[in-house]
Structure 1
Amino acid sequence: MAGLIAGRPPRVHSDKAMSALSLVIRPEHPDDAPAIGRLHARAFGPGRFARTAYRLREGVPHADALSVTASVGSFLVGSVRMSPVQAEGPAFLALGPLAVDPSFSGRGVGSGLMRAALEAARAAGEGLVVLVGDAPFYARFGFTPVPPGRLSLPGPVDPARFLRLELAAGFSERVSGIVTAARAR
C-alpha cells in the first residue's frame, strides 16, 4: 500500500482462493462512494445504521488516503475504511467497515483489504487502530481486545469485539476515555 500512496500502480492480488480472478486492491477514490454504499447495503443490510461503530463514523469523513477497495474487473467487491477518532490523548484510527460482497466471501478479499489498509496506516505513521469486529478474524492481523477501562465507545459494544492494534510502541498508553470522531486533525 505504501507504493500506492507514492503513486505506483494498483496491487494485483492472486492466490489459491482467487486463482481464477484478478483481484485489484487500490486506494479508495471519491467516485467509489456510490458503489461502496451499495456494497455496504448488500453486506450489512439496513441494520448497519443502528450499530455503535456506524454511529461513531456518522457525519465525519473517513481518511481517503488510508481507505482501500478491492475490485474484480469493474465490479467493486470489497472496501475497508479508516476514520480518524480521538479520546483523551493523541488522535488515532478506527477501522471499518470492512465489507466484502457476499458472493466473494471466503476468497481472501477481506484479508487482502486488511493487509493493504494496515500497511497504509503504518506508512502514514499512525499509532493505533481500533475496531469492533470478530476477534478470531482480526487476531490474525495482530488485533487484541482493548483492556477494560482503557477506552470505551459511545454506545453498547460487546467488550470481546472491541479490538486494537498498536502500530507505534507505547501509543496505547497515551490514550484513554470515550472514543469519538475526530472532527479536525
Structure 2
Amino acid sequence: MVGESAADTTAREALLDRAMGPKRKKKSSEKLRRGRRPSEGLAFVARDASGVVVGTVRLWDVRLGEGGPAALLLGPLAVEPGLKSGGIGSALMPPLFKPGSTLMRHAIAEAARLGHGAILLVGDAPYYGRFGFSADRTGTLAMPGPYERHRLLALELKDGTLDGVKGTIKAAGRKIKGQAPGFVA
C-alpha cells in the first residue's frame, strides 16, 4: 500500500471504470468529490509485484450538515475485478480482519492517525460492517442526491464526533484549480 501519485491518475481511472462501470460518475458520492482533491495524505493505491495499480481508495473532506463537524467520505474503493477475493480492498483499512482488507484497513488507520473524527461511505453493510461501519448513527444525515438510506454508513474514529449530527452532507476541503468541470483528480 502506497500513497497515490499524480502518475497513478490514468491507471486509477481505468481501474475504476473496470471495477465500477460507466455509471460510477452519476452516484451521489461523486457530487461530493467533484471539483475537489482527496483529503491530504488519504489517497492510496495497491500495486501488484510488477508495479501495476490493482487497488485504489481515497477519502474526501466533508461537513456533516450545515455548520456540522468535519468528517471524511470514503470512496471509491476498488480492486482489480480478477483479484477481488485476494484481500486488497480490505487492506486499505486498519488491520482488523482478513488480509484481503488491506486497502480499507490502511485508509482507516491513516485517517485515525491524522486525527480525523469519523468516516462515512455509501456501501454494503455486510462488507463494511467488518471494519466497524454501520448505519446506526447516520439516520439524521442525507446525501446530496439519490441514495439508499440503509447504505449510508459511518465509523466514528473519535467518540462523540457523530453526536447530534443532522442535515445534508456537504463537500469541503481542497478544490481543484484549472480543471474542467466533472474532473476528479
Smaller-chain TM-score bracket: 0.7 to 0.9
- Post-superposition CA distance 1:76-132 (Å, at most 9, x none): 000000000112322110000001110111110111100000000000000010000
Match of 2:35, SS? coil
Determine the structure 1 residue equivalent to 2:170: 180
Determine the structure 2 residue equivalent to 1:160: 150
Determine the structure 1 residue equivalent to 2:51: 74
Output the TM-score relative to the length of structure 2.
0.82
Stretch of structure 1 that moved more, 122-131 or 28-37: 28-37
The structure whose residues are more often helix, as a share, is 1
- Whether 1:137 aligns to 2:127 is yes
Q: Cα–Cα, structure 1 residues 146 and 34, in superposed 2: closer, same or farther, change >3 Å?
A: farther
In structure 2, what is the Cα distance between the partners aligned to 1:149 and 1:141? 19
Match of 2:10, SS? helix
- Whether 1:96 aligns to 2:75 is yes
The structure whose residues are more often strand, as a share, is 1
Match of 1:93, SS? strand
Superposition CA RMSD, Å: 1.6
Letter in 1 for 2:159: A
1:21-60 equivalence runs, <5 A: 25-60=1-36
Letter in 2 for 1:182: A
Q: Which runs of 5+ in 2 are unaligned?
A: 91-101, 176-185
In structure 2, what is the Cα distance between the partners aligned to 1:183 and 1:120? 17
In structure 2, what is the Cα distance between the partners aligned to 1:54 and 1:95? 11
Query: In 1, are the aligned partners of 2:75 and 2:121 still within 8 Å (CA)?
Result: yes
In structure 2, what is the Cα distance between the partners aligned to 1:184 and 1:70? 24
Q: Which runs of 5+ in 1 are unaligned?
A: 1-24
In structure 1, what is the Cα distance between the partners aligned to 2:124 and 2:86? 17
In structure 2, what is the Cα distance between the partners aligned to 1:66 and 1:47? 24
Q: Cα–Cα, structure 1 residues 68 and 183, in superposed 2: closer, same or farther, change >3 Å?
A: closer
* Ranges of 4+ aligned residues in structure 1 off by more than 6 Å: none
